[in-house]
Amino acid sequence: MPLFLAPLAVTSLLIFLFGTLLLFKKKEKTANRCFSAICFSASAWLAARSFYHIYSNEGLLRLGYAAITFMPVLLLHFVSVFIELPLLRRKHKTFYLVGAVFSLLILFTKAVIEGVIDSSGGYSLLAGYFFPLYCAFFIITLGLSVSFLVSALISGRFTGRKKIQAKYILISCIFFFLTTFVFIPGKDTGGLTYDLVLLYVSIIILAYAIIKLRLADLGFLVIRALIFIGVYAFIIGIPFLLGSRFRQRLIQAAGDNWWIIPIILSTLLANAGQYVYFFIKKRAEARILQEQQRYQNTLRRASLGMGRIRELKRLLKLIVHIVTRTVRIESCSIYLFHEASGQFTLRAVKGSSEDTGYGILSIDSPIVKYVLRVKEPVVYEEIREKRERYSSDDLLALESQMRFMDAEVAVPSFIEERLIAIIMLGKKNSGGIYTRDDIVVFSILANQSALAIENTRFYEEAKRTHEQLIKAEKMATIGTLADGLSHQINNRLHALGFIAGDILDSIRLRKKGMLPPENEARLFDDIENALGRINENVKHGGEIVEGLLKYTRKGPDGLAPIDINELFNSSLEMAMFKIKPNEMKIISNIGDNAPKVMGNFAQLQEVFFNMIDNSYDAVIQRKAEFREEDYRGFFEFTVQRKGKNIEINAVDNGIGVKTEDMRKVFTPFFSTKSSSNKGTGLGMYVIRQIIEDNHRGKVSFESQYKIGSRVIICLPVAEG
Amino acid sequence: MARILVVDDEADVREFTKSFFAKRKVEVQVASNGREALEKTKADKFDLVLLDVRMEDMTGTDVLKNLREQGNDVRVIMVTAVEDEEVINEANSWGIVGYIHKPLVLDEMERIVMGELDVRHI
């Protein structure tokens, strides 16, 4: 048996096995049955050719040609099933019939193939009368397949994976078409001719088209295998070539042991071969991986960026942006789980899906139910195919929901078992399909997003708690002012009562004729005076209430340029409801041209109030505990500019803080105040929160027991 | 003619109490703080003192305490904004004839004060 027949036989066997495998695996699909038949027909042809070389039996060769006659018909059948052409389906029988007639003619008559002429290492066909007709049948059948595929592709009936599959099938048909040149009569056909390779490639492409394209790794495998075969065929081929072509010269040069040279050469080359193989493989893979690396790089950058964002709204926008930009898709939307309502709400959108009308996905909508079950991305194409096969109601609902939402892929985002969000992806701009790599990238991105979303949620919750705490503390300080405030307001009312009462009394007395003459004379003046005083008191009362309201109002969020003088005075005004001026002297060294600071008025007011209040309590406490004869408390407030900052010093000569308590000063709920006027224990803590967290400023505290305390605050100066 | 002393840090209260009682032939002297009140009570005799509890320099209770320590047994009515039991108890222990609550309308004030003065004159 000639050695070159081995690959022919092996190919034949492989194709046969492949066809059998497919037949057993997915028998129920017509397309698969067709493909198996294609494999058998090709396998039979190749087998017949190799056996012909061994037995030189023309009958065997005829058997092979009879088998291959069905190949174009099968291919047409396969194509018509694939592109769903029912019209063509009914005409299959005609094509099969014609094919069968030609097969019989080949087998039993000389009408198509007159005979076979042996030639060195091959054979040539002798054409019969019907041979042109046979060729025409071949060409027409194949041409029909190709034209159906092309027109279907052009019409744009195919999308996504189906489109790519169609392309592969088309290429496969064209390869097969090229194979048929071997039929040209009189042409010398050897064992290892190009037609063999073409047929082989044709079948591989077809197989690739049928096997799911989602196995993108198959691309790698095929490329690796090709490189491996190519490199080794070349490397091992060299010594063989040397051995066969230059044997004489080698004998001349090396004598009887000439074969050592090719053997050594092949050993050397085989060793070198692996390096060449690895080199080429690496280069080839790098090319394929380029796109993947681009994704991965973007992903890495994105995850870094996501971690830094603390605002949920901005984070969601960023995720949508990353997805649409890096992968270049038409639309993307994020549905976030809403704890309170127990459903998924649309939180960020980019692209055309804005008008799908799906603002909410309930927990039992098909898509949510499905991702909760499978816990991995759902691809529309796959669902559609699955539905075609199993036709379940769930799949049907899922398919129609995804279609309605224009969603090609739905990527769930989990933290452990909790579904945090669903990211919906629209079509790719390129019209291409989502590969496995894409899906993997999205899964990672989605999980990173889940973490980032949780982070922002925690952060936002912490921020809310923090704001509530500041507010609560402020309300608590108002509590300490209640006594002073009510006294002030009561005094106003009390005065009003007296003013009104006195003048009312005068008028009543006058009516009774009992008003003393001196009062009688200046009655109008008295009335005027009284009403004027009423006005004054109302105004004063109004100011008290206004100050209180200003203090309690949350005020605008965010920072704005603030006048320190105004801030200090309004804080002092509030503090004065509590402070008795003769208990503590207040000295302010602000100056009229102190620069403005960037700050939040309401929050800084709270800080200033707390400082004055703390100092006052410290002064009172020192007075009460030590009863020093000549002690007089003071509070000194100084503002100085230091570069781009303003330094505020608040100094008092109150009781101070003991060394052992110093490190607890900023701890929440810690207080050194005597029980009678104990505050919330949040004053210093809130000062630090407001200054350092909300204003990016700095607070420090110095104190000495029985001497006094100093609070130093640095705040950025407002530009301009 | 009856004489009363009004001790209050509110100018309006002092002025209008004075004006009101003048029409009833009651002489009203005023003091705007505790120190002044003590000076006036030392210098003059009063039938009644209306003493505000909360003042800037010292509390009404302190003034009362001072008065009693000096042996002055003048009749005192405390004027207070908040009903502070501790304050009232202390004042009671030093001897007062009553207390009134701010804010107060004059009619009521008249009733209380004239009542007290009538009792005095009997």
The answer to whether the Cβ–Cβ distance between B16 and A496 falls below 8 Å is: no
In this structure, what CATH number is given to the domain that contains residue A114?
Answer: 1.20.1070.10
The answer to whether the Cβ–Cβ distance between B23 and A496 falls below 8 Å is: no
Q: Is the pLDDT of residue A217 over 50?
A: no
Indicate if A400 and A263 belong to the same structural domain: no
The answer to whether the Cβ–Cβ distance between B107 and A501 falls below 8 Å is: yes
pLDDT at A213 (0 to 100) = 46
Indicate if A199 and A250 belong to the same structural domain: no
- Worst-scoring range by mean pLDDT, A5-19, A147-161, A640-654? A5-19
CA distance A383 to A396: 9
Among A269, A296, A323, identify where a domain stops.
A296
Kindly indicate the confidence band of residue B14, based on its pLDDT and cuts at 50, 70 and 90. very high
Model pLDDT for residues A39-61, shown as the tens digit of each residue: 888 888 878 877 777 777 788 88
Q: Is the pLDDT of residue A431 over 80?
A: no
pLDDT at A182 (0 to 100) = 61
Determine the distance in angstroms separating the CA of A525 from the nearest CA of chain B, rounded to an integer. 13
The mean pLDDT of chain A is 80
User: CA-nearest residue of chain B to A503?
Assistant: B20
Number of other residues whose CB lies within 10 A of the CB of residue A106: 25
- B contact residues 42-81, partner A, Cβ 8 Å cutoff: 54, 56-57, 81
Asked if B111 reaches chain A (Cβ–Cβ under 8 Å), the answer is: no
Q: What are phi and psi of A123, to 5 degrees?
A: -155, 165
pLDDT at A157 (0 to 100) = 73
With respect to residue A693, please indicate whether it lies within any of the assigned structural domains: yes
Kindly indicate the confidence band of residue A92, based on its pLDDT and cuts at 50, 70 and 90. confident
pLDDT at A25 (0 to 100) = 65
User: CA-nearest residue of chain B to A487?
Assistant: B81
The answer to whether the Cβ–Cβ distance between A582 and B56 falls below 8 Å is: yes
Model pLDDT for residues A614-637, shown as the tens digit of each residue: 899 899 889 888 888 889 999 999
Model pLDDT for residues A474-512, shown as the tens digit of each residue: 777 777 777 778 888 888 898 999 999 999 999 999 999
In this structure, what CATH number is given to the domain that contains residue A623?
Answer: 3.30.565.10
Q: What is the mean pLDDT of residues A144-165?
A: 78
CA of A646: how far to CAs of A191, A588, A595, A597, A642, in Å?
93, 15, 8, 7, 6
pLDDT at A639 (0 to 100) = 92
Name which of A487, A494, A503, A511 to mutate to probe chain B: the one with the most chain B Cβ atoms within 10 A of its Cβ.
Answer: A494
Centroid of chain to Cα A622: 61
The answer to whether the Cβ–Cβ distance between B13 and A495 falls below 8 Å is: yes
pLDDT at A180 (0 to 100) = 67
| B113 vs A contacts (CB less than 8 Å) | none
| A519 vs B contacts (CB less than 8 Å) | 22-23
Asked if A244 reaches chain B (Cβ–Cβ under 8 Å), the answer is: no
Residue A210 · residue A60 · CB < 8 Å: no
Q: Is the pLDDT of residue A228 over 90?
A: no
Q: What is the mean pLDDT of residues A431-446?
A: 77
Which of B56, B57, B106 faces A501 most closely, judged by CB atoms?
A: B106
Determine the distance in angstroms separating the CA of B61 from the nearest CA of chain A, rounded to an integer. 17
ipTM of the complex model: 0.90
CA A34-A220-A46 angle, to 5 degrees, is 40
Kindly indicate the confidence band of residue A119, based on its pLDDT and cuts at 50, 70 and 90. low
pLDDT at A303 (0 to 100) = 73
Q: Which residue has the higher pLDDT, A386 or A202?
A: A386
Between chain A and chain B, the number of residue pairs with CB atoms below 8 A apart is: 72
Among A296, A317, A352, identify where a domain stops.
A296
According to the per-residue pLDDT averaged within each range, which of A310-324, A362-376, A523-537, A657-671 is highest? A523-537
Indicate if A292 and A441 belong to the same structural domain: no
Q: Which residues contact A693 (CB under 8 A, 6 or more apart)?
A: A466
| B78 vs A contacts (CB less than 8 Å) | none
- Worst-scoring range by mean pLDDT, A89-93, A213-217, B63-67? A213-217
Model pLDDT for residues A67-87, shown as the tens digit of each residue: 888 888 888 888 888 777 765
The answer to whether the Cβ–Cβ distance between A494 and B16 falls below 8 Å is: no
| A541 vs B contacts (CB less than 8 Å) | none
Asked if B104 reaches chain A (Cβ–Cβ under 8 Å), the answer is: yes
- Worst-scoring range by mean pLDDT, A321-325, A512-516, A520-524? A321-325
Residue A323 · residue A332 · CB < 8 Å: yes
Q: What is the mean pLDDT of residues A184-207?
A: 60
User: CA-nearest residue of chain A to B105?
Assistant: A497
pLDDT at A353 (0 to 100) = 47
Indicate if A90 and A128 belong to the same structural domain: yes
CA distance A11 to A202: 13
Which of B20, B102, B103 faces A505 most closely, judged by CB atoms?
A: B20
With respect to residue A629, please indicate whether it lies within any of the assigned structural domains: yes
Indicate if A103 and A181 belong to the same structural domain: yes
The answer to whether the Cβ–Cβ distance between B12 and A498 falls below 8 Å is: yes
Q: Is the pLDDT of residue A403 over 90?
A: no
Determine the distance in angstroms separating the CA of B106 from the nearest CA of chain A, rounded to an integer. 5
Q: In chain B, what are the domains?
A: 2-110 (3.40.50.2300)
The answer to whether the Cβ–Cβ distance between B12 and A483 falls below 8 Å is: no
According to the per-residue pLDDT averaged within each range, which of A240-244, A596-600, A681-685 is highest? A596-600
Asked if B23 reaches chain A (Cβ–Cβ under 8 Å), the answer is: yes
According to the per-residue pLDDT averaged within each range, which of A245-259, A352-366, A674-688, B97-111 is highest? B97-111
| B20 vs A contacts (CB less than 8 Å) | 498, 501-502, 505
Name which of B8, B10, B19, B30 to mutate to probe chain A: the one with the most chain A Cβ atoms within 10 A of its Cβ.
Answer: B19
Q: How many domains does chain A have?
A: 4
The answer to whether the Cβ–Cβ distance between B106 and A498 falls below 8 Å is: yes
pLDDT at A532 (0 to 100) = 94
pLDDT at B55 (0 to 100) = 83
Asked if B119 reaches chain A (Cβ–Cβ under 8 Å), the answer is: no
Model pLDDT for residues A694-720, shown as the tens digit of each residue: 888 999 999 999 899 999 999 999 876
Indicate if A182 and A317 belong to the same structural domain: no
Among A296, A312, A331, identify where a domain stops.
A296
Q: What is the mean pLDDT of residues B102-116?
A: 84
Q: What is the mean pLDDT of residues B86-94?
A: 86
pLDDT at A638 (0 to 100) = 92
Indicate if A204 and A303 belong to the same structural domain: no
In this structure, what CATH number is given to the domain that contains residue A344?
Answer: 3.30.450.40
pLDDT at A192 (0 to 100) = 44
Which of B22, B102, B106 faces A490 most closely, judged by CB atoms?
A: B102
| A544 vs B contacts (CB less than 8 Å) | none
Asked if B82 reaches chain A (Cβ–Cβ under 8 Å), the answer is: yes
Kindly indicate the confidence band of residue B119, based on its pLDDT and cuts at 50, 70 and 90. low
Which of A490, A506, A580 faces B81 most closely, judged by CB atoms?
A: A490
pLDDT at A71 (0 to 100) = 84
With respect to residue A537, please indicate whether it lies within any of the assigned structural domains: no
Q: What is the mean pLDDT of residues A246-258?
A: 71
Q: What residues make up the domain containing A314? A: 298-460
Q: Is the pLDDT of residue A247 over 80?
A: no
A324: alpha, beta or left? (left if phi > 0; alpha if psi -120 to 50): alpha
Determine the distance in angstroms separating the CA of B5 from the nearest CA of chain A, rounded to an integer. 16
Determine the distance in angstroms separating the CA of A671 from the nearest CA of chain B, rounded to an integer. 26
Q: Do you find a cis peptide bond into B103, omega within 30 degrees of 0?
A: yes
CA of A419: how far to CAs of A177, A339, A344, A363, A373, in Å?
52, 11, 10, 10, 11
The mean pLDDT of chain B is 87
pLDDT at A191 (0 to 100) = 43
Pairing of strands A645-652, A708-716: antiparallel
Amino acid letter, A356: T
The answer to whether the Cβ–Cβ distance between A498 and B16 falls below 8 Å is: yes
Q: Is the pLDDT of residue A316 over 60?
A: yes
Q: Which residue has the higher pLDDT, A437 or A312?
A: A312
Kindly indicate the confidence band of residue A239, based on its pLDDT and cuts at 50, 70 and 90. low
The answer to whether the Cβ–Cβ distance between A582 and B57 falls below 8 Å is: yes
CA distance A635 to A610: 13
Indicate if A350 and A225 belong to the same structural domain: no
pLDDT at A214 (0 to 100) = 39
pLDDT at A87 (0 to 100) = 58
pLDDT at B32 (0 to 100) = 92
| A495 vs B contacts (CB less than 8 Å) | 10, 12-13, 16
Indicate if A270 and A382 belong to the same structural domain: no
Q: Is the pLDDT of residue A384 over 60?
A: yes
- A contact residues 138-157, partner B, Cβ 8 Å cutoff: none
| B82 vs A contacts (CB less than 8 Å) | 483, 486-487, 490
Kindly indicate the confidence band of residue A200, based on its pLDDT and cuts at 50, 70 and 90. low
Indicate if A328 and A393 belong to the same structural domain: yes
Q: Is the pLDDT of residue A245 over 80?
A: no
pLDDT at A1 (0 to 100) = 46
Indicate if A229 and A164 belong to the same structural domain: no
Indicate if A52 and A167 belong to the same structural domain: yes
What does the block give as tokens for A138? 């071949």
pLDDT at A27 (0 to 100) = 58
